[in-house]
Amino acid sequence: MKTHAVVSLFVVTLLATACSSQDRATGVPSASAAAAAALDFQDQQTQWVRERSADLSKPDGWTSLIGLHWIEAGKRSVGGGADNAIRLSIAPDRLGEVEQRADGLYFQVAEGAPITVDGKPVQGEVRLDPEGAGGGTKLAYDEGRGQITAIKRGQRLALRVRHADAQARRDFAGLDFFPADEAWRVQAKFVPHPAGRTLPIVNVLGEVADNPNPGYVVFEKEGHEWRLEALGDPAKGLNLMFQDQTTGRLTYGVGRYLRTDPVAADGTVVVDFNRAHNPPCAYTEFATCPLPPPENRLALQDGNGERTRLAVLAGEKKYAGGNH
């Protein structure tokens, strides 16, 4: 019996090895390899959602915004007191004064106000460089829990204010995603536009800005070919903003955003709709989100006027904790 068992085990092992060799020879993944790949895909998606949720809810994340105050002419007092021209919902009574001049935006710190820049206490006047590639100037108060920065939209400047005790951050309800599905991780083709082409993008304020539009991606789904205009740098990754049949129903009414990896040398790029996510304005009324262009509504119309829309049942759903 023992000899028979040893022989049986040897035969099973030999067959398994042969099957594995055959899989390698044909290029067809084994069932175990396919299962491992599927599990790895699920784990990576879970980790990505976890990291996104943590980023939104960090002390200076999007849920920490408590105000967006557009700058008007003259010196404007800033603080939590009712007599301030710019009243902050969470702040000491008086922080200082802000003034826009021909050469920039300046903040005059109120005497004794505990404000820091880059962790160092400051008094007197501070120039506020707007948020951007360089990061901009960050004024901190309430021992770093509050933060004031400047943003520029068109020709207008505003103070953007964050606080770790923001109501939206305290009430953050977490994220809701469709179940991860590899079928929505689609292989697309990047088609470049002529160099220098731009695409007008409107934000929630109604302002229009021309953005570099290097090309578009095309992919097949549900028997049709779909097209999305892209922003960004193909060598670094494309930014896609889109609406689909779920928009305003199952998903956020403005639309969703998606970023790809760099475009491959052969022009292919993976568009993983599992990582489609809501713009910041889904979580706060103090964001100035760009809107998906009309070209990216994932809708087709045939010669008879029949309209077909793609329902992207992947990625992030509506945010349950917000009213935006």
pLDDT in tens, the chain (324 residues): 444 443 343 333 433 444 444 455 555 567 788 788 888 999 999 999 999 999 999 999 999 999 999 999 999 999 999 999 999 999 999 999 999 999 999 999 999 999 999 889 999 999 999 998 778 999 999 999 999 999 999 889 999 999 999 999 999 999 999 999 999 999 999 999 999 999 999 999 999 999 999 999 999 999 999 999 999 999 999 999 999 999 999 999 999 999 999 999 999 999 999 999 999 999 999 999 999 999 999 999 877 778 899 999 999 999 988 655
Token couple for 156: 């207008």
* Per-residue CA distances from 166 to 25, 60, 289, 321 (Å): 59, 10, 20, 14
pLDDT of residue 113: 95
Written as one letter, the residue type at 12 is V
For each of the domains in the chain, give its residue range(s) and CATH number, in order of start: 62-170 (2.60.200.20), 173-309 (no CATH)
Contact criterion met (CB below 8 Å) for 256 and 267: no
Q: Which amino acid is at 186?
A: V
Distance CA 143, CA 132 (A): 24
Q: Which helix (H) or strand (E) holds 13?
A: helix 2-26
Which residues make Cβ contacts (< 8 Å) with residue 172, sequence separation at least 6? 56, 57, 63, 283, 321
pTM: predicted TM-score of the whole model, two decimal places:
0.85
In sign, the C-alpha dihedral spanning 114, 118, 122, 128 is negative
pLDDT at 12: 36
Q: Indicate left, alpha or beta for 123 from its phi (over 0: left) and psi (-120 to 50: alpha).
A: beta
- Strand segments (E) across 146-223: 146-153, 156-163, 185-192, 198-202, 208-212, 215-221
Tokens 């826009």 correspond to 100
Give the C-alpha distances (Å, rounded to integers) separating 63 from 118, 131, 166, 168, 179. 22, 18, 7, 5, 24
